[in-house]
Amino acid sequence: NAGVTQTPKFQVLKTGQSMTLQCAQDMNHEYMSWYRQDPGMGLRLIHYSVGAGITDQGEVPNGYNVSRSTTEDFPLRLLSAAPSQTSVYFCASSYLLGDEQFFGPGTRLTVL
């Protein structure tokens, strides 16, 4: 199993550009989530999904969209990037909500 994979590893955007961060898992996990990690603030939940076709907002959802058309994939879309979205983004998955979460290696995003 590859576990949780994220692409790209690094990305630089200009303010106003859009992009999609990819996340995939091959463990047949129902629960997937996106976090952002900022210095001194730990990880904060952006969006999550409890299964294909079901998504919900976390603590800091503004400026981000998600969809879950398959069990395996959970992309995170930045509609119009802002410097405040410069961060490291982690995707995580677990078999069910409340189970141990497995984290991907992260995507480091810089918005100029």
C-beta of residue 37 within 8 angstroms of C-beta of residue 87: yes
Taking the C-alpha atoms of residue 61 and residue 47, their distance in angstroms, rounded to an integer, is: 6
Looking at residues 26 to 85 of the shown chain, list those that interact with other proteins (rule: CB under 8 A): 31, 33, 35, 40-45, 48, 58-59
**Smaller CB separation from other proteins, 11 or 17:** 11
CA distances from 103 to 17, 39, 61, 83, 112 (A): 27, 18, 19, 25, 27
Among 11, 67, 77, 103, which residue sits at the site for other proteins (rule: CB under 8 A)? 103
Binding residues (CB under 8 A) for other proteins: these are: 4, 31, 33, 35, 40-45, 48, 58-59, 90, 92, 94, 96-106
